[in-house]
Homo-oligomer: A and B are copies of this chain.
Amino acid sequence: MSRDICIYQEFLTDAHKGQIQETAEKLGFIPHFFTLDQFEEAKDCLQSCEVLYAHSVDMLRSAPVSLKWYCCSFAGVDPYCKDPAIFANPDCILTNSNVYGVTIAEHVVMVTLMLLRRMPEYEEVVRNHSWSNQLPIRSIRDNEFTILGTGNIGVNVAERVRGMGAAKIIGLSRSGRPHPAFDEVHPIADLDKVLPDTKILVMALPGTADTVHILNRERIALLPKDAYVINVGRGTAIEQEPLMAALNEGRLAGAALDVMDPEPLPKDHPLWTTKNLILTPHVSGNMTLGYTCDLNVKMFCQDLANYAAGRPLNSLVDRKRGY
């Protein structure tokens, strides 16, 4: 009996497909490729597959009880962990793709500099064809970062701002375990102690029950008036109403949100017109960067070899914990 893999992805180039084909064949698998407009064909094929490589709730819901491994090509797997019933096979292995650190870290560096250097205000000057160039700006050099989440994204952000001369980089993680990219790592339980001295807060947390509204009204109030908040994790991590109020009333220097709640943001949502806020439509980790796509395929192939050999998978997700 053949061991089949259903691959339901839009981003794969011919080179990526060749790479998967070659790896799979060596390991005794047959890959079947479908693009997103071939939902029915992919679903039919999936019925006899033991592996699915995709990012689709609907496709996963269509999987048979015989599916043994779902490799999600995104990092955030909250849609697959909220409801265990989404898996026909309760023991199905779930892996994610932590390949977005580089592109998301570049987004964080960009919006951090845009906030510190007052870019939205200068863009308004330029839109009016006028000239003004004496707004006080700040620098990444000698500045301090508090990074909530010390995973792939947090580490890539830390490395980049370190290279630009940041004076202090504090990480916060569930365990508080030290990591060489950070000057200090604290347990998230100590968040309230860290916020009053925070200058630039970068939030890169997965969407789990524990992270919903982790930056709530009380904690927003703990941040200094000249602090910045950048969120590239999940929109649900921030209580949005008090954040908007703090920004509009000048109780925070600025914010940059690439994620929000809900997405897409409704046309009349007050976030669109909040002051000192840079909004982007969830673009920081998108799949249009060649490097991200290459790494995604590479990690799937590595874990396919692990899977075939019965070894633990590198990107295994704890379905109960949610990451």
Contacts and interface: CB of A to CB of B under 8 A. Distances in A.
Contacts of A268: 129
Interface in A113-139: 113-114, 116-117, 119, 122-123, 125-126, 129-139
Contact of A106 (B106, B113, B126): B113
A142 to B, nearest CB: 6
A283 B106 contact: no
A283 B164 contact: no
B136 A106 contact: no
A158 to B, nearest CB: 12
Interface stretch (A46-54, A59-67, A76-84, A274-282): A274-282
A102 B137 contact: no
A286 B110 contact: no
B139 A289 contact: yes
Contact of A103 (B119, B139, B264): B139
A140 interface: yes
Interface residues of A, number: 52
A180 to B, nearest CB: 16
Q: Is the interface of A mostly helix, strand, loop or mixed?
A: loop
B135 A288 contact: yes
Contacts of A263: 131
A119 B113 CA distance: 13
Contacts of A162: 163
B286 A134 contact: yes
A141 B99 CA distance: 14
A272 interface: yes
Nearest to A283: B133
A311 interface: no
A320 interface: no
A165 interface: yes
Interface in A136-174: 136-142, 159-160, 162-165
A282 B134 CA distance: 10
A291 B114 contact: no
Given A131-B264, A133-B282, A110 B107 contact: no
Interface of A: 102-103, 106-107, 109-110, 113-114, 116-117, 119, 122-123, 125-126, 129-142, 159-160, 162-165, 263-265, 267-269, 272, 279-283, 286, 288-291
8 contacts: A107-B113, A110-B114, A122-B283, A126-B281, A129-B272, A135-B283, A142-B291, A163-B163
